[in-house]
Every structure is written in structure tokens, then in C-alpha cells.
């Protein structure tokens, strides 16, 4: 099977589950943000952000170490997991105490502190979930993590909605999130026992020093990446208040609901590219180019739809009465989304080729650029538009441009070619046509969901017609359809014979 098909097959399993998971998460976001209001929702988002930034250290980059090592030798599954689990548990206990101290030092209100106290447990639970997910990723089996993700969101929504309507607040929401995450870890742990790597004779366990040394570059990269992605929320909370964080959180969560597309695609890509880099460099480059083409085709309709229909989306999901300031934020973040898709792939390429230090250098520079720009733009947009969150959104956009330029300069020569540029240009033209159609739908009073669905279907049809999808994908989809057609015919024949 072609490497790209292996990637897309695994990605399709994750993506199918994530679509369901994202829909559930979207309902959760709408219910919680509407019920809590922008101020209390802002506190919850602020606490989630703080715990996420500290929580990245708990994993210590070991999930990537496990993925890359076990993907190359599955017999390493048991010794690597045991070592990593011990490190994660030890770090988690220490960092929980550190998190509480950091929240006190930053002078957060009692409401935020209580949320941090609860959500601090989440960062430990999530670290174990990532570690277990790494085992499945290394075995190129994505179904169990996908099911666990959907199940966790179902539990969260099923518990949160009735409790909110009974009058409970953000602390209850935080508690339910932790409980659902713990249930997801339990399910993954039970299922992991069946992985083939655990049935192979286990070699000697790696030394603690070797594990920590291997994980440190990933930890640094993950820590820098999360800092760049989330520090704007902390700065915004200090400079503009909880309401601005609530507006920013609403727009961010909408856009982040679609991060699963590049995240899961690169999750499926990482073990394959790691293998191809050592086995077949030509196939490595070809697979990277095809994956980029697929990402480009996916991102264009999403960015265009968010940008053009931002006011309708915010109004229908959150109400303009409370969240109107989120409209310009969503438009700016729609532009950032396109850059983030490509940046995820570039990250995957650098990590798969063992260039963690280069990626760390880029992110380290971004860690200096992003806060500096935030500290300038948030007060400026607060004064000009009474909405400091606009400055935070613009800072994110400028940072993603900076990362993209730096990463493209250091990716190995020959990785990309003019073919991807042609795909990008044609997809952009189709995106312009889609934007025109969406703008035309507004004065006609067509519901935004219907306009987005019809426009997206037309875009997809044009993509297929123009041959923008990689040939491997077209052949794979065609094969699935051909296999299903005879199956359907044989089923009809059987039913007729039985009649």
C-alpha cells in the first residue's frame, strides 16, 4: 500500500471520529458560553490556558519519543511505556503544586484559582492519554484513540448540559472535563494491552537519562509551541480583562474545532515519514508533497467560509448581544488558520527527519516575537476599538507568518516543488469564487449553514474536476467505491433470490 494511502486511511479513521467529536465539542462550547456568559466563560478559558501551558511539561515530549521509537521497533512498546509512565506520574505530581503557586503569584481572583485547582488534575490525566495514544500511533492503529476521544466528549456533554441548567457554574464544568478525561485514559489503557508490541520479546529498557535526553527536544518544542499559541490569552487577561478573554475564547474555540484536520493528518503522517526518511528519501519527498496538496485543498474553503460568514456564525452560535466583538476576531483567525495548517506539516517534516533543534530554534524566536507584539497591539486595539482581543488575534497572525517563513527556509532542499504552488494557486482561485458565492447569499437571506454546505460541495466538485487531489487519493477513493458497488449489487441479488 502506498505511504500516502496508509496516512490517509489512518487519518480518515481519526478524522471521522473527530468530526463527531468536534460537533459534540461545538455544542458544548455553545451551551457553556451562552449559559456562563462572557465573563465567567473567560475565567474558565483563562484557567484552561494556564493549565495547558504548565501541563505541556508533564508529558516531557515522551509521547513523541514513544511514537518514533516504537514505530521503528514495536518490541520497544512495553519498556518505553513503563519508563515514560513513571516519569509522567512523577512530573505531574510536582507540577500540580507548581501550577497552584504560579496562579497565586499571578494574582488571579478566587474564582480563577478554584478552576485552576480542579483543572490542574486535567493536565496530568491528559499526559497519560497522550502517552497511550502514542502507542496506538506508533502501531499505525488510530481507531481506539478516536473512539476514546468521541466517548470522552459524549460523557462531558451528557453531564454538563443538565448540570448547567440546574444552576451550576464554571467549577462544575471543570470537574466534568476532568472526569471525562479520566474515563478516556481508562479505556485506552485497557485496549493498549492488545497491541502487537506488547506481545513481542521486550529488549532492555532504555536508561532514565536516555529517555529524558530523547524527550527534552520534543518537550522544548512542545512547550515553545504551546507558549506561542496560548501566551496571548494570559497577556490579554492581564491587560484587557475577563470579557475580552471570553470574546477571544469563543472565536478561538470555533477555529480550533477544525485543527483536527492538520493535527490528525500529521499524526498519521509522522510515523510514516519517520520510516520513509530512513528507507526511501524519494518516496519521502513525494509523500510530503502530496500531503501538502491535500492540506491546501482542505484549508481554502474553511478559511473563506469563516472570513465571509463571521458575523452570521457568531450571531447564531453565541448571540451578537454578548459576543459581537468576536466577529473581527474570527475573521483574523480565519487567515491564521490557513497558515497553521501548513505549519503543522512543516513541524512534522522537521521532527520526522530528526531536526528537532532547528524547530526549537524557530519556536524560541517566536516565543520572543509573539509576547512583544501582543504587548504592543493589545493596548493599541483596546484604545482604538475598545477590544484588545483584536490585538491578540493580529499578533497570532503575524507570528504564524514568521514561523512559516522560517520553517520554509530550513526544510531540506527538494522537499517541495512547483507542483504544490500550482495547486495552491488553483485552490485560491476556487476560494475566490466560493467567497463571491457566499457574499451573494447574504442579501438573498439564505441561511449561512445552507450557503456554506452548498458552497463547500461546489468547491469539492471543482477540486475533483480540476484534478487538485493527489492521484493516490483519487485511486483509493475510486477503489472503495468500486468495491462497494458490487457489494450493493450482490446484496440486492440475494434479496431478490430470497423473494
The SS3 assignment for 207 reads coil
Listing DSSP states for 161-181 in one string gives HHHHHTT--HHHHHHHHHHHH
Q: Which residue has the higher pLDDT, 140 or 201?
A: 201
Q: Which residue has the higher pLDDT, 469 or 44?
A: 44
Q: What pLDDT sits at residue 488?
A: 42
Q: Residue range 418-422: average pLDDT?
A: 79
Q: How far apart are CA 117 and CA 47, in angstroms?
A: 9
Instruction: Please identify which residue in the block is written with the cell numbers 440546574.
Output: 166
Banded pLDDT at 471 (limits 50, 70, 90)? low
Q: How far apart are CA 367 and CA 452, in angstroms?
A: 36
Q: Are 51 and 116 in contact (CB under 8 A)?
A: yes
Q: What pLDDT sits at residue 369?
A: 92
pLDDT at 152 over 60: yes
Q: How far apart are CA 492 and CA 289, in angstroms?
A: 42
Q: What pLDDT sits at residue 484?
A: 46
Please state at what angle helix 3-59 crosses helix 143-165, rounded to 10 degrees: 50
Of the given ranges (8-12, 133-137, 309-313, 338-342), which has the lowest mean pLDDT?
8-12
Q: pLDDT digits over 202-243, tens only?
A: 677 677 777 777 777 777 777 777 788 778 888 888 888 778
Q: Which residue has the higher pLDDT, 391 or 18?
A: 391
Give first-to-last CA distance, the chain, whole Å.
Answer: 40
Q: Which H/E stretch holds residue 211?
A: helix 208-240
pLDDT at 318 over 90: no
Of the given ranges (125-134, 274-283, 395-404), which has the lowest mean pLDDT?
274-283
Q: pLDDT digits over 9-38, tens only?
A: 555 555 566 667 667 777 777 777 778 777
Q: Are 131 and 85 in contact (CB under 8 A)?
A: yes
Q: What Cα–Cα distance (Å) separates residue 203 from each residue in 11, 199, 206, 334?
A: 30, 12, 9, 48
Q: pLDDT digits over 47-91, tens only?
A: 888 888 787 778 777 787 777 777 777 777 778 787 888 888 888
Whole-structure pTM value: 0.67
Q: Are 177 and 148 in contact (CB under 8 A)?
A: no
Measured over the CA atoms of residue 225, residue 170, residue 116 and residue 135, the dihedral's sign is: negative
Of the given ranges (21-25, 101-105, 355-359), which has the lowest mean pLDDT?
21-25
Measured over the CA atoms of residue 172, residue 174, residue 179 and residue 180, the dihedral's sign is: positive
**Angle at 149 (CA atoms; ends 189, 120), nearest 5 degrees:** 75
Instruction: Please identify which residue in the block is written with the cell numbers 457553556.
Output: 32
Helix then strand count (H, E) for the chain reads: 18, 0
Instruction: Please identify which residue in the block is written with the cell numbers 481519526.
Output: 14
Instruction: Please identify which residue in the block is written with the cell numbers 469539492.
Output: 460
Q: What pLDDT sits at residue 332?
A: 94
Measured over the CA atoms of residue 434, residue 439, residue 440 and residue 445, the dihedral's sign is: positive
**Angle at 145 (CA atoms; ends 139, 146), nearest 5 degrees:** 120
Q: What pLDDT sits at residue 448?
A: 85
Close Cβ partners of 397 (under 8 Å, ≥ 6 residues apart): 332, 333, 335, 336, 339
Please state at what angle helix 110-138 crosses helix 260-279, rounded to 10 degrees: 40
**Which of 109, 113, 105 shows the shortest CA–CA distance to 51?**
113
| Residue 268 phi, psi dihedral angles, 5° rounding | -70, -30
Close Cβ partners of 376 (under 8 Å, ≥ 6 residues apart): 391
Q: Which residue has the higher pLDDT, 492 or 64?
A: 64
Length of the chain: 499
Grid cell at residue 150: 468521541
Listing DSSP states for 251-297 in one string gives HHHHHHTTTHHHHHHHHHHHHHHHHHHHH-HHHHHHHHHHHHHHHHH
Q: Is 277 exposed, middle or buried (0-12, 13-18, 19+ CB in 10 A)?
A: middle
Q: What Cα–Cα distance (Å) separates residue 49 from each residue in 145, 218, 235, 464?
A: 23, 20, 11, 40
- Distance from chain centroid for Cα 29: 16
- The mean pLDDT value of the chain amounts to 79
Amino acid at each position: 500500500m502506498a505511504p500516502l494511502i496508509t496516512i490517509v486511511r489512518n487519518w480518515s479513521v481519526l478524522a471521522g471520529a473527530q468530526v463527531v467529536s468536534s460537533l459534540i465539542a461545538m455544542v458544548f462550547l455553545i451551551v457553556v458560553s451562552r449559559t456562563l456568559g462572557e465573563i465567567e466563560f473567560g475565567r474558565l478559558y483563562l484557567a484552561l490556558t494556564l493549565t495547558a501551558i504548565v501541563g505541556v511539561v508533564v508529558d516531557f515530549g515522551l509521547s513523541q519519543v514513544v511514537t518514533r521509537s516504537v514505530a521503528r521497533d514495536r518490541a520497544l512498546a512495553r519498556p518505553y511505556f513503563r519508563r515514560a509512565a513513571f516519569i509522567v506520574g512523577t512530573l505531574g505530581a510536582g507540577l500540580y503544586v507548581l501550577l497552584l503557586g504560579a496562579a497565586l503569584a499571578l494574582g488571579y481572583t478566587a474564582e480563577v484559582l478554584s478552576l485552576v485547582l480542579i483543572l490542574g488534575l486535567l493536565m496530568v490525566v491528559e499526559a497519560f492519554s497522550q502517552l497511550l495514544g502514542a502507542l496506538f500511533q506508533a502501531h499505525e492503529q488510530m481507531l481506539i484513540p478516536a473512539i476514546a476521544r468521541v466517548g470522552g466528549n459524549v460523557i462531558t456533554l451528557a453531564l454538563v448540559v443538565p448540570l448547567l441548567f440546574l444552576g451550576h457554574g464554571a467549577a462544575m464544568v471543570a470537574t466534568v472535563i476532568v472526569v471525562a478525561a479520566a474515563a478516556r485514559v481508562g479505556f485506552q489503557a485497557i485496549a493498549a494491552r492488545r497491541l502487537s508490541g506488547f506481545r513481542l520479546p521486550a529488549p532492555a529498557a532504555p536508561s532514565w537519562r536516555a529517555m529524558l535526553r530523547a524527550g527534552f527536544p520534543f518537550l522544548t518544542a512542545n512547550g515553545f509551541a504551546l507558549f506561542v499559541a496560548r501566551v496571548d490569552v494570559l497577556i490579554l487577561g492581564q491587560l484587557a480583562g475577563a470579557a475580552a478573554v471570553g470574546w477571544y475564547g469563543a472565536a478561538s474555540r470555533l477555529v480550533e474545532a477544525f485543527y483536527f484536520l492538520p493535527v490528525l493528518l500529521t499524526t498519521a503522517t509522522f510515523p510514516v515519514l519517520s520510516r520513509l526518511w530512513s528507507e526511501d528519501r524519494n518516496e519521502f519527498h513525494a509523500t510530503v508533497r502530496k500531503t501538502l496538496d491535500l492540506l491546501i485543498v482542505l484549508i481554502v474553503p474553511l478559511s473563506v467560509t469563516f472570513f465571509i460568514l463571521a458575523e452570521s456564525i457568531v450571531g447564531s452560535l453565541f448571540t451578537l448581544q454578548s459576543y459581537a466583538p468576536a466577529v473581527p476576531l474570527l475573521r483574523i483567525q480565519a487567515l491564521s488558520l490557513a497558515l497553521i495548517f501548513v505549519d503543522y506539516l512543516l513541524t512534522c517534516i522537521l521532527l520526522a527527519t530528526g531536526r528537532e533543534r532547528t524547530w526549537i530554534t524557530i519556536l524560541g524566536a517566536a516565543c520572543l516575537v509573539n509576547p512583544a507584539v501582543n504587548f504592543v497591539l493589545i493596548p493599541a486595539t483596546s484604545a482604538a476599538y475598545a477590544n484588545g482581543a483584536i490585538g491578540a488575534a493580529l499578533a497570532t497572525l503575524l507570528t504564524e507568518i514568521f514561523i512559516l517563513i522560517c520553517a520554509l527556509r530550513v526544510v531540506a532542499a527538494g522537499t517541495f516543488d512547483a507542483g504544490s504552488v500550482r495547486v495552491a494557486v488553483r485552490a485560491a482561485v476556487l476560494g475566490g469564487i466560493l467567497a463571491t458565492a457566499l457574499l451573494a447569499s447574504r442579501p438573498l437571506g439564505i441561511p449561512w449553514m445552507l450557503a456554506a454546505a452548498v458552497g463547500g460541495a461546489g468547491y469539492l466538485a471543482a477540486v475533483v474536476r480540476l484534478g487538485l487531489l493527489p492521484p493516490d487519493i483519487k485511486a483509493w477513493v475510486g477503489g472503495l467505491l468500486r468495491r462497494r458497488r458490487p457489494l450493493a449489487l450482490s446484496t440486492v441479488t440475494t434479496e431478490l433470490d430470497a423473494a
